[in-house]
Amino acid sequence: MEAGKTSNSKGGVQKTTDDKLEAVKKELTQLQKHHELILQSAGEGIYGLDDKGHTTFVNRAAAEMVGYELEEMIGKSQHELIHHTKPDGSVYEAINCSIYAAFSDGQIHHVDNEVFWRKDGTCFPVEYISTPIKDENGELLGAVVSFKNITKRREAEAALRAALAELEELKERLEMENKYLQQEIKLNHNFEEIISRSKKFRKVLNQLEQVATTDATVLILGESGTGKELIARAVHNVSNRKDRPLVKVNCAALPATLIESELFGHEKGAFTGALAKKIGRFELADGGTIFLDEIGEMPLELQPKLLRVLQEGEFERLGNPQTTKVNVRVIAATNRELQKAVEKGEFREDLYYRLNVFPLQLPPLRDRIEDISLLASHFLLKYSAAFGKKVDVITQSTADALSKYTWPGNVRELENVIERAVITSTSNKLNLGDSLPQTSSRTNKEQIVTLEENERVLILKTLEKTHWKVSGEMGAAKLLGIKRTTLEARMKKLNIERA
């Protein structure tokens, strides 16, 4: 009876142990399923390998990325299935595979420069981590591999590289364009003082280069302050006479009674106050260049002597009948319309044509909008250094104000405005203050007129230019690019008649 009790007791213990084991086994199974669900839900591809490289586990993300069904991958050599070839198409030996290396050297391998191959024969770039699996004794059992498709990242990297390459190319191009621009501005002849990127002014510089190496007389036309003296100096500096003097004469600054003496010189006692012999400017310029600024103000009675020098290269000093020969290149400049002065009898026609061998028409600053900020920056640097002030920023609003102004005084006025503004600025930003008149901006000055009014002005100007000659090769119709009958019809409609 006692023995039976003992036997029942042992059976109960066994049953309890079995129940516990069954519970643990069930718990482990549930835990395994839970972990498998986690792995299956992971966004990255995950698969496990045994120590032979055969697949023991694959999650859905991995299967979807390579295009296989789960059962097609289990028990297969993962390397032969999806990792058999390098990105360049060459065979990837398993012995060199970083995934296999994880369960031979026991190290974690992180790779991001290889590809995995899909079932359909295409491939995609991957980043993967191969982590060795060890048992409780430290024995290597295989590896677990997690990977992700990095196609988008590679595309972004490629786009970034392309953008950087484009930026570098743009930088190089800008540097080359800047270098080219500087060469164009200087026209390969060191025109260091000429600052411009305007097409109109570049046209002048191209013409300048064409005429500079000749001895042709140059007539520089343009409003006051457009840089006529600067261009004259550039012509001289490029010419074959650059090693000889450039002598300047301002015809408007000298009294009519003294200009002949200044140009041609005088002997002692030639007139009251002539206390000593004086060499004239033409003699000083012998072998070089003479710049006759404001030639339109040359007294009419002196113009024949100037014409003689231009034609014959000779003259007489006041008080000396002996002829003096000179070899001088003449550059003249004026802001007057000499053709009108000729028509009014204020300037000799023969002298005008002798001066007008090669005219250079300088555009006003209002027609060189792209040069305004460039010139402003130049003058800002110049006067900041001159006054010992750190004014080095031109804001967009200031630049806009400068661009909208009509600049009746042209570059000279711009320089004066910047100089005054540098003096009055109290920070590193240029403050125009009252330096720029507010009543002469382009937007305020320009008025809207009708097409007919514009057409009438254009036709009148053209007719005046051709002396009211309507037809023919030099007629107004030819200049306007229309038929004679069309012009006559427009004149009739607009009531244009010669006075």
The overall average pLDDT reported for the chain is 83
Give the separation between CA 470 and CA 322, rounded to whole angstroms: 51
Q: Is the pLDDT of residue 215 over 90?
A: yes
Give me the long-range contacts of 39-43 (CB less than 8 A, separation at least 24): 42/146, 43/148
Look at residue 128 in the predicted model and tell me its pLDDT. Answer: 94
Region of poorest pLDDT, from 83-97, 177-191, 476-490: 177-191
Give the separation between CA 140 and CA 124, rounded to whole angstroms: 30
Q: Of 126, 145, 128, 116, which is closest to residue 54 (Cα–Cα)?
A: 145
pLDDT in tens, 173-204: 556 545 444 444 444 444 556 788 888 888 99
Three-class SS string for 481-492?
CCCHHHHHHHHH
Q: What is the DSSP string of 426-480?
A: -SSB---TTSS-SS-BHHHH-----HHHHHHHHHHHHHHHTTT--SSTTSHHHHH
pLDDT in tens, 254-298: 777 788 888 888 888 878 777 777 888 888 888 899 999 999 988
The enclosing H or E element of 342 equals helix 338-343
Q: How many other C-beta atoms lie within 10 A of the C-beta of residue 466?
A: 18
Look at residue 445 in the predicted model and tell me its pLDDT. Answer: 43
Mean pLDDT of 142-170: 88
Q: Of 71, 86, 79, 85, which is closest to residue 52 (Cα–Cα)?
A: 79
- Give residue 18's Cα distance to chain centre: 86
